[in-house]
Protein backbone atom coordinates (compact mmCIF):
# COMPACT_ATOMS: atom_id res chain seq x y z
CA UNK A 1 0.00 0.00 0.00
CA UNK A 2 2.77 2.44 0.88
CA UNK A 3 4.08 2.34 -2.69
CA UNK A 4 0.84 4.11 -3.72
CA UNK A 5 1.44 7.03 -1.34
CA UNK A 6 2.92 10.26 -2.68
CA UNK A 7 3.47 11.84 0.76
CA UNK A 8 2.17 11.75 4.33
CA UNK A 9 0.31 14.94 5.27
CA UNK A 10 -0.66 14.21 8.89
CA UNK A 11 1.12 11.66 11.05
CA UNK A 12 -0.73 9.34 13.44
CA UNK A 13 0.48 11.18 16.58
CA UNK A 14 -0.77 14.51 15.18
CA UNK A 15 -4.16 12.97 14.41
CA UNK A 16 -4.51 11.53 17.90
CA UNK A 17 -3.54 14.82 19.55
CA UNK A 18 -6.15 16.69 17.48
CA UNK A 19 -8.83 14.09 18.26
CA UNK A 20 -8.13 14.51 21.99
CA UNK A 21 -8.37 18.31 21.61
CA UNK A 22 -11.69 18.03 19.74
CA UNK A 23 -13.04 15.56 22.30
CA UNK A 24 -12.21 17.93 25.17
CA UNK A 25 -13.91 20.86 23.40
CA UNK A 26 -17.03 18.81 22.63
CA UNK A 27 -17.13 17.60 26.26
CA UNK A 28 -17.05 21.22 27.42
CA UNK A 29 -19.65 22.43 24.90
CA UNK A 30 -22.18 19.64 25.43
CA UNK A 31 -22.13 19.10 29.19
CA UNK A 32 -25.69 18.80 30.50
CA UNK A 33 -27.06 18.27 26.95
CA UNK A 34 -28.61 15.23 25.30
CA UNK A 35 -25.87 14.54 22.71
CA UNK A 36 -26.34 12.31 19.69
CA UNK A 37 -23.31 11.65 17.51
CA UNK A 38 -24.21 10.93 13.89
CA UNK A 39 -21.34 9.18 12.14
CA UNK A 40 -21.31 9.50 8.36
CA UNK A 41 -20.31 6.10 7.00
CA UNK A 42 -17.97 4.72 5.93
CA UNK A 43 -15.19 7.29 6.01
CA UNK A 44 -15.78 8.74 9.48
CA UNK A 45 -15.98 5.44 11.36
CA UNK A 46 -12.32 5.40 12.45
CA UNK A 47 -12.40 9.07 13.45
CA UNK A 48 -15.68 8.71 15.37
CA UNK A 49 -14.37 5.60 17.17
CA UNK A 50 -11.38 7.56 18.45
CA UNK A 51 -13.40 10.74 19.08
CA UNK A 52 -16.17 9.29 21.25
CA UNK A 53 -13.56 7.78 23.58
CA UNK A 54 -12.26 11.32 24.15
CA UNK A 55 -15.72 12.75 24.94
CA UNK A 56 -16.28 12.48 28.68
CA UNK A 57 -20.09 12.60 28.59
CA UNK A 58 -23.00 10.23 28.21
CA UNK A 59 -23.87 10.17 24.51
CA UNK A 60 -25.75 8.20 21.91
CA UNK A 61 -24.38 7.29 18.51
CA UNK A 62 -26.10 6.46 15.25
CA UNK A 63 -24.97 6.09 11.67
CA UNK A 64 -25.94 7.42 8.27
CA UNK A 65 -24.58 6.44 4.91
CA UNK A 66 -24.86 9.07 2.22
CA UNK A 67 -23.29 9.18 -1.18
CA UNK A 68 -22.51 11.81 -3.76
CA UNK A 69 -19.36 10.21 -5.16
CA UNK A 70 -20.11 6.67 -6.28
CA UNK A 71 -16.70 5.40 -7.42
CA UNK A 72 -15.53 8.81 -8.66
CA UNK A 73 -12.95 11.08 -7.08
CA UNK A 74 -15.19 14.16 -7.32
CA UNK A 75 -18.73 14.65 -6.03
CA UNK A 76 -21.52 14.13 -8.54
CA UNK A 77 -23.64 16.72 -6.72
CA UNK A 78 -26.50 14.20 -6.39
CA UNK A 79 -26.90 13.13 -2.76
CA UNK A 80 -28.46 9.79 -1.87
CA UNK A 81 -29.21 8.47 1.62
CA UNK A 82 -28.10 4.85 1.61
CA UNK A 83 -28.71 4.24 5.35
CA UNK A 84 -30.83 6.48 7.54
CA UNK A 85 -30.80 6.93 11.31
CA UNK A 86 -32.35 4.28 13.53
CA UNK A 87 -33.44 6.74 16.23
CA UNK A 88 -35.47 9.93 16.43
CA UNK A 89 -33.39 13.08 16.82
CA UNK A 90 -36.26 15.26 18.01
CA UNK A 91 -35.09 17.48 20.89
CA UNK A 92 -31.53 16.13 20.80
CA UNK A 93 -28.29 17.97 20.20
CA UNK A 94 -26.94 16.35 17.05
CA UNK A 95 -23.27 16.39 16.14
CA UNK A 96 -22.54 15.15 12.63
CA UNK A 97 -19.09 13.56 12.48
CA UNK A 98 -17.55 13.53 9.01
CA UNK A 99 -14.16 12.49 7.66
CA UNK A 100 -13.65 15.26 5.08
CA UNK A 101 -15.58 18.22 3.71
CA UNK A 102 -14.75 19.59 0.30
CA UNK A 103 -17.50 21.16 -1.84
CA UNK A 104 -19.90 21.13 1.14
CA UNK A 105 -22.88 20.10 -0.99
CA UNK A 106 -23.37 16.73 0.70
CA UNK A 107 -23.13 18.22 4.21
CA UNK A 108 -25.47 21.10 3.34
CA UNK A 109 -28.06 18.58 2.18
CA UNK A 110 -27.57 16.45 5.30
CA UNK A 111 -27.82 19.49 7.61
CA UNK A 112 -31.15 20.55 6.07
CA UNK A 113 -32.46 17.00 6.18
CA UNK A 114 -31.61 16.60 9.88
CA UNK A 115 -32.83 20.09 10.86
CA UNK A 116 -36.25 19.20 9.43
CA UNK A 117 -36.54 16.41 12.04
CA UNK A 118 -36.81 18.74 15.06
CA UNK A 119 -33.47 18.46 16.88
CA UNK A 120 -32.43 20.98 19.54
CA UNK A 121 -29.32 21.74 17.45
CA UNK A 122 -27.23 20.35 14.60
CA UNK A 123 -23.49 20.97 14.34
CA UNK A 124 -20.63 19.55 12.26
CA UNK A 125 -17.33 18.02 13.32
CA UNK A 126 -14.82 17.01 10.65
CA UNK A 127 -11.27 15.78 10.89
CA UNK A 128 -10.37 17.26 7.48
CA UNK A 129 -11.50 20.39 5.68
CA UNK A 130 -10.59 20.91 2.02
CA UNK A 131 -11.70 24.54 2.03
CA UNK A 132 -10.24 25.31 -1.43
CA UNK A 133 -12.99 23.17 -2.98
CA UNK A 134 -15.89 24.70 -1.02
CA UNK A 135 -18.76 25.78 -3.28
CA UNK A 136 -21.29 26.43 -0.51
CA UNK A 137 -21.05 28.27 2.79
CA UNK A 138 -21.07 25.87 5.75
CA UNK A 139 -20.75 26.61 9.46
CA UNK A 140 -18.36 23.94 10.72
CA UNK A 141 -18.12 24.05 14.51
CA UNK A 142 -15.22 21.61 14.95
CA UNK A 143 -12.41 21.19 12.41
CA UNK A 144 -9.32 19.07 12.79
CA UNK A 145 -7.06 20.05 9.90
CA UNK A 146 -7.26 21.98 6.65
CA UNK A 147 -5.80 20.01 3.77
CA UNK A 148 -4.76 21.08 0.28
CA UNK A 149 -6.75 20.23 -2.83
CA UNK A 150 -5.10 16.85 -3.31
CA UNK A 151 -6.58 13.36 -3.19
CA UNK A 152 -6.12 12.15 0.40
CA UNK A 153 -6.53 8.70 1.91
CA UNK A 154 -6.05 7.03 5.26
CA UNK A 155 -7.67 7.24 8.70
CA UNK A 156 -10.98 6.16 7.18
CA UNK A 157 -10.68 7.93 3.83
CA UNK A 158 -10.52 5.66 0.83
CA UNK A 159 -10.05 5.31 -2.86
CA UNK A 160 -12.16 2.47 -4.28
CA UNK A 161 -12.62 1.14 -0.70
CA UNK A 162 -8.85 0.80 -0.13
CA UNK A 163 -6.41 2.69 2.15
CA UNK A 164 -8.96 3.32 4.97
CA UNK A 165 -6.77 1.39 7.42
CA UNK A 166 -3.72 3.65 7.10
CA UNK A 167 -3.08 5.23 10.53
CA UNK A 168 -2.17 8.60 8.94
CA UNK A 169 -3.51 10.98 6.27
CA UNK A 170 -1.61 10.78 3.00
CA UNK A 171 -1.76 12.01 -0.58
CA UNK A 172 -2.38 9.23 -3.07
CA UNK A 173 -0.21 9.11 -6.19
CA UNK A 174 -2.16 10.40 -9.20
CA UNK A 175 -1.46 7.34 -11.33
CA UNK A 176 -3.42 5.23 -8.85
CA UNK A 177 -6.74 7.03 -9.37
CA UNK A 178 -6.47 8.39 -12.92
The percentage of residues in the chain with a pLDDT greater than 70, rounded to a whole number, is: 94
What residues contact residue 120 under an 8 Å CB cut-off, 6+ apart? 33, 34, 91, 92, 93, 94
pTM comes to 0.92
Class level of CATH domain 18-152? alpha beta
* Mean pLDDT of the 37-56 span: 97
Give catalytic status of residue 102 as yes or no. yes
Query: What pLDDT, on a 0 to 100 scale, did the predictor assign at position 48?
Result: 98
Query: What pLDDT, on a 0 to 100 scale, did the predictor assign at position 2?
Result: 83
Higher pLDDT among residues 69 and 38, named by residue: 38
Query: What pLDDT, on a 0 to 100 scale, did the predictor assign at position 68?
Result: 72
Going by pLDDT thresholds of 50, 70 and 90, the confidence category of residue 5 is very high
**Range 84-89, long-range pairs (CB < 8 A, 24+ positions):** 85/38, 86/62, 87/36, 87/60, 87/62, 88/117, 89/36, 89/38, 89/114, 89/117, 89/118, 89/119
Q: How many other C-beta atoms are found inside a 10 Å radius of the C-beta of residue 77?
A: 11
List 102, 129, 149, 158, catalytic entry: 102
Residues making up the chain, counted from first to last: 178
Bridge partners, 83 (sequence order): 65
Higher pLDDT among residues 19 and 133, named by residue: 19
The answer on pLDDT for 129 being more than 60 is yes
| Residues 107-141: b if buried by 16+ CB within 10 A, e if exposed | bbbbbebbeeeebeebbbbbbbbbeebeeeebebb
Query: What pLDDT, on a 0 to 100 scale, did the predictor assign at position 77?
Result: 62
Phi, psi at residue 28, to the nearest 5°? -65, -45
Lowest mean pLDDT of 2-6, 65-69, 86-90, name the range. Answer: 65-69
Bridge partners, 81 (sequence order): 66
What rounded mean pLDDT belongs to the chain?
Answer: 93
The answer on pLDDT for 72 being more than 60 is no
Which has the closest alpha carbon to 15: 130, 163, 166? Answer: 166
Going by pLDDT thresholds of 50, 70 and 90, the confidence category of residue 177 is confident
Amino acid sequence: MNKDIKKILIEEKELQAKVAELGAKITEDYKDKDLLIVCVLKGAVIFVSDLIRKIDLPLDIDFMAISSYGTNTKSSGVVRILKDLNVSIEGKHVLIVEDIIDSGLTLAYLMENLKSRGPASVEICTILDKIERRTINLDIKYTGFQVPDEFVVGYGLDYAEKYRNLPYIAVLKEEIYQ
